Structure 1
Amino acid sequence: MTAAPQVYGADEINAIVIDPGSYQTKIGYAGYDSPSMVLPSYYGLVDADGNKRRIFDESLLLLPQKGLEIKHIVENNAVVDWEGFEAQLEYMFKKLDIDPTQQPVLLTESTMSSYESKVNALKLFLEKHKFPAFYLVKQPTTVSFAHGRPNCLVVDVGHDLVTVTPIVDGLCLKNQVMGTRYAGAFLNQQFEQFLEDKKIALRPHYMIKSKKIVHWESETTTAQFEERKYDFEVAESFREYSKLRILQEMKKTLLNCMDEDNEETQEAKEADDEVRWFELPDGIAVPFSKKDRTILSNSLFSPLETLSKPVKGWETPEDGNIVKHLGNANEASSKEYVPMRRAKKPEDDDKDKPEEDAAEAQKGFGLLKLVQTVLDRLDIDLKPQLANNIVLVGSTSLVPGLNAKLHSELSLANPSLKIRIHASGNTIERRYASWVGGSILSSLGTFHQLWVSKGELDAVGAEKLIVNRFR
């Protein structure tokens, strides 16, 4: 009697899932609902007395140390410091008591990940750490698995980037991906300039020994605090990292998106009790009116029209629109999945399209324009289905009212389409959607067929493996 084929599940596979992001890196076990450990995508590098050491524990980065600088591991959703990334992984493995030789690992990557980055990942996990099996998967693909929607439009509003990715049959249409830098860091910089315009200094927590709360009234208002002294010079990178923590908190507590029509009606009703105060580490309580909070939030939708002055680092449209086409003829690429396309009628062709694209290239692509442009470029048969399955994820997508505003404006711009946005009400699921999807994917009983081993890497070679397996 022949035994039934063995189907492996998460308990037998026990895979490790790693999801590096621009602000945080997540790691945990397949089948879990949330990551086992979340660390900043930064680390502290201490170079004192000629001895260098790295600090990954976030609690040890609250106060400065002599020779301590902050280094980025991930920028624009891509690993930029592979030595730092490797050291961070080793720290995570030690804390979670993970033996790399005993379980496979799944790594998520950005849709704009380079060929060199894929090769580095293969060598790091299969050769250096000797994992028995490895798989590399696009982050939007794992998001689609997290929501159980193999055909969807993934809108990821993160820290460094906003990306819009069409997913068909669980695969990314890479040539249709678009993105901008008008994301979380863009909002952080606006908060910093808001304080600068009011002549308010942003002093990090480590500088304050004691304070007295003072409500800001005018530019002459001064903070009343005792400064903490250090017998060494604090690095600029540490100062900026400490400021970032404050700006992140401001972004979480103050922002509120609102429809334009509602904004006009609410402005007339604006009263003192609608002002929100945010207390800075030095004791200054800064007022933010409803209008201030709405303008800052709505800048995600119209970055150049909403703001009265340029934002440092985003002075020109080119500073924001960094992702329009991800293909690169100079490096090995994956086989692109191309769905069946229905030929357009000749009268449907837009003769003025090149001129319109050239004109739009001079403008800043806000969130609405970004999603709309990707929808317009889709095949006519795919557009209704993906418009009905828009998945909104990313930490910055948690801004109150952003979901409703995006739905309202997309519905207004597409009266013939049924727009439906799927955004989890669970904060963990929204922030860690990519990791959760990777956890689900790698715990499927049939996924064990996709794992790549060191033997396959040696037999086939990195280039062919990347082209054929990691598309």
Structure 2
Amino acid sequence: MAVPNQFSAPVAEYGGDEVSALVLDPGYSTVRAGFAGEDVPKSVVPSHYGLLSSGEKLYGENAVHNPLAKMEIKSPYTSDGIVEDWETATKIWEWSITSRLTGQSENKRNGYVGDKNGNGDGDVDMEAAEAVEEEEKPMGDAPLLMSEPGWAQGKLREKSLEVAMEEWGSPAFYLARTGVLSAFSMGKSTALVIDIGASTTTVTPIVDGMALRKGIQKSPLAGNFVSNQLRLIFQQSPTPVPLVPHYMVQSKTPVDAGVPSAATYKKFETPPTDSFRHFEEERVLTEFKESVVQTWEGPGPLAQSEEHVKNFPGRPFEMPDGWNQVFGVERYKAVEGLFDAKAAIADAESPAPRQDQCIVELVRASLNAVDVDIRANLLANVVVVGGSSLLVGLNRRILNQLEAAFPGPKVRLSASQNTVERKYASWIGGSILGSLGAFHQMWISKREYEEHGTSIVDKRCK
């Protein structure tokens, strides 16, 4: 056996042979993929795709950020992270693996006899056709561990198994809930997982490695909600904040804070679509959230301390076109709606959220749905994950509010200080799970799928 090196994929025992298990973690914002046993996913690609006027679909980071004329930016998901367009979602997932991990067949001719350019005598070799069909199955050599939202129902789970077996040719498959995998990433088999992602915030109670489905709660108050709050803050500011995406700027000249931009803007024969501009504006808002936005940690709500906060040093931010400003108390306001629905900024198109959608209320509802005996243990093992959980001060605010809401039991909160580990917690948990020798008896094999059909997924993947 060859000695593994830094470029080798980690291997695990499956069916007596050494194979590399693939871990696929699809999300509303990005799709993460890599080999089990590795620390981080090797492939992270956007879940959105570009749709050209010709009907062609473009996938990948470079494609979706290219300002092509008449290209619409679409998502195969509903707003709560459930797959709506299975054909496109499957292609994006497949691309995330084949573009970075397994590679693609260079010459796919569907059995047509000819050279690399398709030239030949026109005869079809059936054996060659069958061989090419097998070759085109991108994951035919590796077991696949895939994550899913905790609230996914039977038909959606069965469809994932069908795609893996029928379209990708996976020899073995397992479907795991993201909450369970996130708990595993923190070394916990029992936890109350608060996952703050792009489109949803989810609270999942985990006991002995099993998600308690009756206790799973979700809310649309997550990263995209904070971005929308920022849009409203910018629009309602006494001096409106210009939100100009990177692709529009040709060059820029430094200007003083609050002074209009002196940038030169690109000219397009056919301007990019509104959906493309909105998608690119989200990139700027993400940069703003990462560098400026903070969570008010207390004591008390922000509204009671606003005058005091105005004395705090501001945080500067420069837009892609050079416009810049120092942001004071407004940098705290965007996050308040995650905890207090009354503090959320609203307008005709963005109605105020409900209080039961806020983080602490989700935790309360989750705990009320499970047995009283396990609530204290769950509160002692709160785990916070997700890209939007990286907002400065958010974990401290969650802990303070949980301690106030549940004064009896001891509340302990765990959150990785490593940005990558927090963003990709469910993938890392899948990487850990897929590399455990004891786990491999849990795979759904190709033979079992052929014998029992898609219904086996609910029996095997609890």
Fold shared by both chains (TM-score > 0.5) = yes
Which one of the candidate residues 424, 448, 452 is aligned to 1:460?
452
Structure 1 CA distance for aligned equivalents of residues 377 and 19 of structure 2: 34
Structure 1 CA distance for aligned equivalents of residues 100 and 347 of structure 2: 40
Q: Is residue 143 from structure 1 mapped to residue 182 from structure 2 by the alignment?
A: yes
Q: Which region of structure 1 is more displaced relative to structure 2, 206-215 or 410-419? A: 206-215
Q: Where do 1:21-420 residues align within 5 Å?
A: 21-47=27-53, 50=54, 52-75=55-78, 76-92=80-96, 93-98=98-103, 99-198=138-237, 199-215=240-256, 217=258, 222-261=260-299, 267-268=307-308, 270-271=310-311, 274-289=313-328, 291-302=329-340, 304-307=341-344, 309-310=345-346, 314-317=350-353, 363-420=355-412
Counterpart of 2:56 in structure 1: which amino acid?
R
SS at match of 1:224: coil
Q: What are the superposed Cα offsets for residues 65-90 of structure 1, whole Å, 9 maximum, x if unpaired?
A: 12322111334232222222222233
CA contact (8 A) 1:46 1:53 kept: yes
Which one of the candidate residues 429, 435, 438 is aligned to 1:437?
429
Show the counterpart of 2:107.
none
Q: Does the C-alpha gap of structure 1 residues 378 and 294 become closer, same or farther in structure 2, counting only changes over 3 Å?
A: same
Q: What are the superposed Cα offsets for residues 3-24 of structure 1, whole Å, 9 maximum, x if unpaired?
A: xxxx938993410000011111
SS at match of 1:436: helix
CA contact (8 A) 1:28 1:36 kept: yes
Q: Which region of structure 1 is more displaced relative to structure 2, 138-147 or 55-64? A: 55-64
Q: What are the superposed Cα offsets for residues 140-170 of structure 1, whole Å, 9 maximum, x if unpaired?
A: 1111211221111010011100110101111
Structure 1: gaps of 5 or more residues: 1-6, 318-361
Q: What are the superposed Cα offsets for residues 282-328 of structure 1, whole Å, 9 maximum, x if unpaired?
A: 22113310x212222222111x2213x415654154xxxxxxxxxxx
Q: Does the C-alpha gap of structure 1 residues 314 and 149 become closer, same or farther in structure 2, counting only changes over 3 Å?
A: farther
Q: What are the superposed Cα offsets for residues 238-277 of structure 1, whole Å, 9 maximum, x if unpaired?
A: 1111111111111111121123327556843644x71222
SS at match of 2:233: helix
Displacement of 1:448: 1.3
SS at match of 1:101: coil
Counterpart of 1:95 in structure 2: which amino acid?
R
Show the counterpart of 2:131.
none
Counterpart of 2:319 in structure 1: which amino acid?
L
CA contact (8 A) 2:19 2:141 kept: no
Q: Which region of structure 1 is more displaced relative to structure 2, 207-216 or 36-45? A: 207-216
Structure 2 CA distance for aligned equivalents of residues 80 and 269 of structure 1: 44
SS at match of 2:283: helix
CA contact (8 A) 1:45 1:71 kept: yes
Q: Does the C-alpha gap of structure 1 residues 54 and 414 become closer, same or farther in structure 2, counting only changes over 3 Å?
A: same
> What is the identity percentage for the equivalent residue pairs of Structure 1 and Structure 2?
32
SS at match of 1:102: coil
How many residues are aligned here?
410
CA contact (8 A) 1:32 1:439 kept: yes
Normalised by the size of structure 2, how large is the TM-score? 0.83
Q: Does the C-alpha gap of structure 1 residues 305 and 139 become closer, same or farther in structure 2, counting only changes over 3 Å?
A: same
Structure 2 CA distance for aligned equivalents of residues 61 and 265 of structure 1: 42
Q: Does the C-alpha gap of structure 1 residues 114 and 248 become closer, same or farther in structure 2, counting only changes over 3 Å?
A: same
Counterpart of 2:81 in structure 1: which amino acid?
N
Structure 1 CA distance for aligned equivalents of residues 200 and 64 of structure 2: 25
SS at match of 2:422: helix
Q: Does the C-alpha gap of structure 1 residues 446 and 45 become closer, same or farther in structure 2, counting only changes over 3 Å?
A: same
Q: Is residue 18 from structure 1 mapped to residue 24 from structure 2 by the alignment?
A: yes
Counterpart of 2:320 in structure 1: which amino acid?
P
CA contact (8 A) 1:133 1:453 kept: yes
Displacement of 1:383: 0.7
SS at match of 2:225: helix
SS at match of 1:212: coil
SS at match of 1:78: coil
**Alignment RMSD (CA, Å):** 2.3
Q: Does the C-alpha gap of structure 1 residues 85 and 241 become closer, same or farther in structure 2, counting only changes over 3 Å?
A: same
Structure 1 CA distance for aligned equivalents of residues 294 and 444 of structure 2: 45
Counterpart of 1:249 in structure 2: which amino acid?
E
Structure 1 CA distance for aligned equivalents of residues 309 and 42 of structure 2: 46
Q: What are the superposed Cα offsets for residues 171-207 of structure 1, whole Å, 9 maximum, x if unpaired?
A: 1111111111111001000111111113333221111
Structure 1 CA distance for aligned equivalents of residues 163 and 272 of structure 2: 34
Q: Does the C-alpha gap of structure 1 residues 116 and 314 become closer, same or farther in structure 2, counting only changes over 3 Å?
A: farther
Counterpart of 2:185 in structure 1: which amino acid?
A
Show the counterpart of 1:332.
none
Counterpart of 2:343 in structure 1: which amino acid?
T
Structure 2: gaps of 5 or more residues: 1-11, 104-137
Structure 1 CA distance for aligned equivalents of residues 348 and 175 of structure 2: 35
Structure 2 CA distance for aligned equivalents of residues 158 and 225 of structure 1: 34
SS at match of 2:152: coil
